[in-house]
Amino acid sequence: MSKKFKHEQIKHGNLRMKNPTEITVATFNKLAQRYQDKYMDLEDYDDTYALFCKNLVSSNARVLELACGPGNVTRALLARLPDLQIVATDLAPQMVELARSNNPTAQFAVMDCRDVGGQGKNFDAVVCAFGLPYLSRAEAATLIADAVAVLNPGGLLYLSAMEAEETRSGWQTSSTGDQVYIHYHDEQHLRTALGLHSFDIIDIKRKPGPAQSSMASTDLFILARLRAV
């Protein structure tokens, strides 16, 4: 999902009373093509994908991707390792349709990343690239715990988030008037959750948000491995 929204804290009014997830998904369904046009060829994070691929158990590893958007990360991974068996998911149906068109060799499904725990323990890696901005801190910790249920021993977990104080979390409004609810995360709370659930951190990186984004941000990338029993 996109980060191209102007920050706007809204404490009163109708938005506070509505389901943030439903509003955010509706926005990304509406703006899916625009998001693809703006971010599909972004190369800013390619080094993090290369490190992920380098640490996989094999070139045909099974990968579960959460919040895949239009398939930009899917495409970047397959460009490095074409034999990866990727099952990519997103809660916005229009994003899934674009991702499927952009990556015909991968599998796709509409799925809430909060439901990851029911997918069966048969993946070598879980990728959640900028899905965390749409999860609260408690939901992010639950996702990390649920990843254990689907990962094989020694499996990888790739996470990226927008880093800032939690108090900055709130509604953000695009130039079209469409809105999403953004949650900010920090290294310490993610590191704590990973440690509690038997993940060892391989690498942590920070990068400035992409030039295409109208909102300045610091992006946080974490690669971790589930300890083998």
Tell which residue, 129, 163, 171, 165, has the closest CA to residue 21. 171
Cβ atoms 198, 144 nearer than 8 A: no
Give the β-pairing of 199-208 and 6-7: unpaired
More confident residue, 104 or 120: 104
Predicted confidence (pLDDT) at residue 9 exceeds the cutoff of 60: no
Residue 168 CA to residue 8 CA, distance in Å, equals 9
Average pLDDT over residues 203-222: 87
CB within 8 Å of 79: residues ≥ 6 apart: none
Backbone φ, ψ for residue 216 (5° rounding): -65, 140
Instruction: For residue 106, tell me if it sits in a domain.
Output: yes
- Examine the pLDDT at 12 and tell me if it is beyond 60: no
The CATH number that applies at residue 48 is: 3.40.50.150
Q: Residue 208 to residues 22, 91, 181, 213: CA-CA distances in angstroms?
A: 28, 26, 20, 10
pLDDT tens-digit series, residues 62-102: 999 999 999 999 999 999 999 999 999 999 999 999 999 99
pLDDT confidence band for 214 (50 / 70 / 90): low
Report the number of distinct structural domains present in the chain.
1
| Location of structure tokens 């796709």 | 108
Cβ 132 vs Cβ 161: under 8 Å = yes
Print the domain residue range for 178. 6-226
Which is nearest to 129 in space by CA: 82, 189, 73, 185?
73
In 3D space, the residue among 121, 35, 112, 124 whose CA is nearest the CA of residue 66 turns out to be 112
Is 145 inside any structural domain? yes
- Residue 140 confidence (pLDDT) above 90: yes
| Environment class of 73 (CB within 10 Å of its CB; exposed 0-12, middle 13-18, buried 19+) | buried
**Cβ-based neighbour number of residue 175 at 10 Å:** 9
1 compared with 84, residue with greater pLDDT: 84
Q: What are phi and psi of 221, to 5 degrees?
A: -125, 130
Q: What is the pTM of this model?
A: 0.90
In a domain, 1, yes or no: no
Residue 132 falls inside a structural domain: yes
Position of tokens 């946080």?
220
> In the chain, what is the straight-line distance between the N-terminal and C-terminal CA atoms, in Å?
34
Q: Are the C-beta atoms of residues 9 and 181 closer than 8 Å to each other?
A: no
